[in-house]
Structure 1
Amino acid sequence: MSAIGAHAVVLGGGMSGLMAAHVLADHFERVTVVERDGHETAAPRRGVPQGWHPHALVLKAVDLLDELLPGMKESYVQDGGVPVGMMSQHRLFYFGHQLRQSEAGLDTVWASRPFLEKGIRERLRARSEVTLRQGCFAVRPLAPTRGRITGVVVEKPDGGGPESLAADLVVDATGRTGRTRTWLSDLGYPLPREERVKVNLAYASRILRCGPDVFANDRAIAVGPRLDRPRGLYFTVQEEGRWTLTVYGYGDFRPSADTDEFMAQVRELAPDDVWAVIEAAEPLTEVRVFQVPETYRRRYDKLPRFPEGLLVTGDALAALNPLYGTGMMYSAAYALILDRRLREGIDGLPRRFFKDAGRAVAGSWRFSSLSDSFLPGVGGSGLPGAGLALWYLRRLVAAAEHDAALAADFIRVASALRSPVALARPGVLLRTLRPRTTRTRLP
């Protein structure tokens, strides 16, 4: 494929930035990734505080990543990532009901965030077109003429003076903070409208050591929140015989960083057999706390004007509730959209890219916002018909306690493998609304 430009710069060396850089290397002679954090370590980077918490390639993320980087799933598993059947080896509790387990052929890969980042970073380092500039950050855009960004000025945190990087395209993958909004304001452009849900979410995690098959079958336990208890628990496998133990809550509930208080919160939520394993496991880290006051979707796709030579991707574009595990999936989805749109040329790229990216995230945004909105302490999604939709969703999950096919349908939508509309198909409706003769109260 012939190059459409000499140089592209990616701001941010996280998952979205690394995936974007991989795509850009197919279209530009050179690609530079600018990352504020210095040399990577086995621990999560400073710029990724959520890196201490559970991570997985969930369903659609596996397919998209393999499309973007063929053989990546197999590489992760060979290097120590743990394959887990989504319906056969996940013990999942939603709204007080355990979803029926089955062999549904839905595969995931669980691993730590540093492990997942390292796999993609090593792929990039093997490409001669890509340069990783760690330990520096973007200061301002180069915009000598109105309507186009022609590069970016970068600096090192410890000084050394600014450096100008000329570029045909700059991609902002700097996460929730995002440089682009400040730059748009400085350059006289309108800011994107934001859709927000005040989730008031906090979670705390620590790493434990125990065998990957300590439960014989299950490799991931998820105890979700209920109306009368807006908090939950994850206990999930990762590489090298480690498990991530997480307590989370909405509204007034705050998971504790104090070890004894944290373990008391775990005991309240964990099924008895899970607690027995946790109590006997070897702690490897202290407790780390992370807070998510809001989720948001920035509507760059609705802006009347936007400069050429600049794009936004990853969490700088939209950040959904991280408990749904869709962050890396959308990093891959945005990268594939970028590849497709670059094949059509660079002129008018922002408008075409943002339009497709907005459509891609819309279904998951509605589903996660709606699912969160029923919990005490959450600001509400503002979506029309939310009350009826929540009644139906809770009834569906209750039916999925006994109906394996219905449970798989729900998980496919929750993991963005299918549109939320799939839950309104006639067959799903009939199985959801069928009178139930048994009711079971679970954790």
Structure 2
Amino acid sequence: MSDVDIVVPAYVGGQPQFPVADTVFTNIFITATARAGTPSTPSPASPSGSTSCRSRGRGPARGSGTFINRESAEWSSRHPAPQHRRSHIATPKTFAVLPRVTVVPELMTAALGRRPTMGEFVGNRAVVLGGGMAGLLTARVLSESYEDVVIVDRDTLSGAEGPRRGVPHGRHAHGLLARGQQILEELFPGLERELVGHGVPSGDLAGDIRWYFEGRPFAPARSGLLSVSATRPELEAHLRARVLRIPNVTLWERWSVDRLDFTHHQVTGVWVTSTDGNQKLLSADLVVDATGRGSRTPAWLEEHGYERPEEEKVKVDLQYTTRIFRLDTDPYGTDLSINPLATPTNPRGAFFPKLSDGTSLLSLTGMIGDYPPTDLPGFLEFAKTVGAPEIYDSVKNAEPVDDAATFRFPASTRRRYERLRRFPAGLLVLGDGVCSFNPVYGQGMTVAAMEAHALRQHIRDVGTPQALRFYHDISSIVDVPWDISAGADLGFPGVAGRRSLKTRIGNVYMPRLQAAAHDDPRLTEAFFRVAGLIDPPQTLTKPGVVMRVLRNKKVNTVSTRREGAATPASAYRRDQAAPPSSPGDRAA
């Protein structure tokens, strides 16, 4: 890092009073003058409590602004501020010099992407509600098409590296599927290298994670699909740092969302309130609701005379119970994680990754009301039953680092925005607010990334976003993971819901494919390419794949197991020899 003096411009009547001029510097001007006691005009783009630049010797500053860097200064010098700005952008009447501002040049060019010229912007300001994964990805995409992007979140996000109130499941195991990893690397080049450089384990999704089905591990395969074993707070912190380095992105933290501001059939902003009770109208050309499962958009639509979207629910009555342990043995070998899958014969599962600090996180899952206990003896007894014996063996005498945390998930929910006939202009919904998936399938972050990616293309195609067209665009994205997760959940007898012929056939075929994958790496690879949302599900029913499944004699035991009690685990470690099989048991 290096320190440089930066002169901040002022605007008088929309005219820059210094040759280096841009809105991001207007934001930082407010911060600097507020600290120095210089009179200033408050700006809607820089509320107290939003993320600030770092100044020498202070750490994160309290006030308004954003991270700045050498690239943003160069960009501003090449692109002077517009002659006429819209009325909701503040115009300070003096200028100031920031004493010494820390510059973060590393990875800046890759992180920023290509900034449009002034003529390419489709709007002045976009506001993103929610600073989680969906919100950060949306802000990254919108920064290419809007002059100013503001992220609003009720939590304190500056320096947040652990679980927070706005992400109640943040302490539990999370998965970023292969397609999500690809999109993140496209939007944030070098992210994988950055994470690995911070000690986050990474490897092959199908070859470096020990997946269990019915007490036996899948045959490992080299799929080329990357898995980065970061916790949710770790991944979010790295993305947030990248996003806040973009010159035209600002974070309003510790602000809660009250209501939308409507003008006729157009959303023109959002009313927000700070933790000290200060209420503001944040005007915007586009508001994106990325607040997740608790999205209030359906209620807001109803309040303004619109229909609520239809909802589809699959009730799974799931609970996670999670603890972190310091192990005195190594159950992993070269693997990143040990993950036994819940099945209809045993609705208990687990995710057991090793973490970047050398500890191990164990998330136990129970469906249909079979909740993992929070007391340590009960937790360990539950761990015995998940179908991967090395998990219990490694934690029974290990040191618990924390108390148990729980997260309950009653139902997967899909809101059918694409079926609405009317929708207000200037408003979009993304992420879990559109579809909230059973978290054991690890689809949520990846689908949010795919939707943000689709929004980027949508704006490139049509300019100003058209809500109903956008919802039709993403409905096809949501269809596949919804069919995978909701269809699999309907294979559990205790899960209520209509079972179509497609669902019933799938829930007969998939256990047989998974059983065959115990001995066939090609089937393991094919399965995880579909589960990772790289290939469509139809690839698993191609004649060559079906023949590999049918040739495997072990598939004949699946129906017997599903009718009886849960099969005891008879697993072997990855570094031990697999149980012998005859040549006829392996597909050619």
Which of residues 133, 149, 156 is equivalent to 1:31?
Answer: 149
Do the aligned residues in 2 keep the contact of 1:58 with 1:109 (CA within 8 Å)?
Answer: no
Pair 1:148 & 2:282 matched: no
Matched to 2:504, the amino acid is G
Distance (Å, rounded) in 2 between the aligned partners of 1:435 and 1:55: 32
Which of residues 199, 212, 217 is equivalent to 1:93?
Answer: 212
Q: What secondary structure does 2:164 align onto?
A: coil
Pair 1:408 & 2:525 matched: yes
1:385 matched residue in structure 2: 502
Matched to 1:13, the amino acid is G
Residues 212 and 384 of structure 1, relative CA distance in 2, 3 Å threshold? farther
Which of residues 30, 39, 42 is equivalent to 2:161?
Answer: 42
Do the aligned residues in 2 keep the contact of 1:11 with 1:170 (CA within 8 Å)?
Answer: yes
Which of residues 432, 436, 443 is equivalent to 2:553?
Answer: 436
Residues 104 and 345 of structure 1, relative CA distance in 2, 3 Å threshold? closer
Question: How far apart are residue 421 of structure 1 and its match?
Answer: 1.1
- CA displacement 1:74-107 (0-9 Å, x = unmatched): 2111122210221222111124442111223222
1:138 matched residue in structure 2: 257
2:140 matched residue in structure 1: 22
Do the aligned residues in 1 keep the contact of 2:175 with 2:443 (CA within 8 Å)?
Answer: no
Do the aligned residues in 1 keep the contact of 2:176 with 2:228 (CA within 8 Å)?
Answer: yes
Which of residues 89, 107, 119 is equivalent to 2:238?
Answer: 119
2:78 matched residue in structure 1: none
- CA displacement 1:401-421 (0-9 Å, x = unmatched): 111101111111122121111
Pair 1:221 & 2:342 matched: no
Do the aligned residues in 2 keep the contact of 1:91 with 1:99 (CA within 8 Å)?
Answer: yes
Q: What secondary structure does 1:176 align onto?
A: helix
Residues 300 and 211 of structure 1, relative CA distance in 2, 3 Å threshold? farther
Do the aligned residues in 2 keep the contact of 1:4 with 1:345 (CA within 8 Å)?
Answer: no
Which of residues 374, 379, 396 is equivalent to 1:279?
Answer: 396
Q: Which runs of 5+ in 2 are unaligned?
A: 1-115, 559-566, 570-588
Which consecutive aligned stretches of 4+ in structure 1 deviate over 6 angstroms post-superposition? none
Matched to 1:25, the amino acid is S
1:7 matched residue in structure 2: 125
Residues 239 and 435 of structure 1, relative CA distance in 2, 3 Å threshold? closer
Do the aligned residues in 2 keep the contact of 1:371 with 1:390 (CA within 8 Å)?
Answer: yes
Query: Superposition pairs for residues 250-329 of structure 1, below 5 Å?
Result: 250-269=367-386, 271-329=388-446
Flag the structure with more relative contact order, 1 or 2, with Cα contacts below 8 A and sequence separation at least 6: 1
Q: What secondary structure does 2:182 align onto?
A: helix
Q: Between the two proteins, what is the percent identity of the paired residues?
A: 36
Matched to 2:551, the amino acid is R
Aligned length: 441
Residues 265 and 73 of structure 1, relative CA distance in 2, 3 Å threshold? same
Q: What secondary structure does 1:149 align onto?
A: strand
Matched to 2:388, the amino acid is P
Query: Superposition pairs for residues 327-346 of structure 1, below 5 Å?
Result: 327-346=444-463
Residues 46 and 241 of structure 1, relative CA distance in 2, 3 Å threshold? same
Residues 365 and 173 of structure 1, relative CA distance in 2, 3 Å threshold? same
Do the aligned residues in 1 keep the contact of 2:162 with 2:234 (CA within 8 Å)?
Answer: no
Q: What secondary structure does 2:300 align onto?
A: helix
TM-score by length of 2: 0.72
Q: What secondary structure does 1:18 align onto?
A: helix
Residues 236 and 119 of structure 1, relative CA distance in 2, 3 Å threshold? same
Q: What secondary structure does 1:225 align onto?
A: coil
Q: What secondary structure does 1:374 align onto?
A: coil
Distance (Å, rounded) in 2 between the aligned partners of 1:383 and 1:32: 43
Distance (Å, rounded) in 2 between the aligned partners of 1:212 and 1:6: 56
Distance (Å, rounded) in 1 between the aligned partners of 2:194 and 2:289: 28
Distance (Å, rounded) in 2 between the aligned partners of 1:291 and 1:29: 40
Matched to 2:457, the amino acid is R
Residues 212 and 415 of structure 1, relative CA distance in 2, 3 Å threshold? farther
Distance (Å, rounded) in 2 between the aligned partners of 1:251 and 1:272: 23
Q: Which deviates more, 108-117 or 430-439?
A: 430-439
Which of residues 463, 478, 481 is equivalent to 1:361?
Answer: 478
TM-score by length of 1: 0.95
Matched to 2:270, the amino acid is V
Question: How far apart are residue 274 of structure 1 and its match?
Answer: 2.9
Q: Which runs of 5+ in 1 are unaligned?
A: none
Residues 211 and 39 of structure 1, relative CA distance in 2, 3 Å threshold? farther
Distance (Å, rounded) in 2 between the aligned partners of 1:58 and 1:413: 10
Question: How far apart are residue 232 of structure 1 and its match?
Answer: 1.2
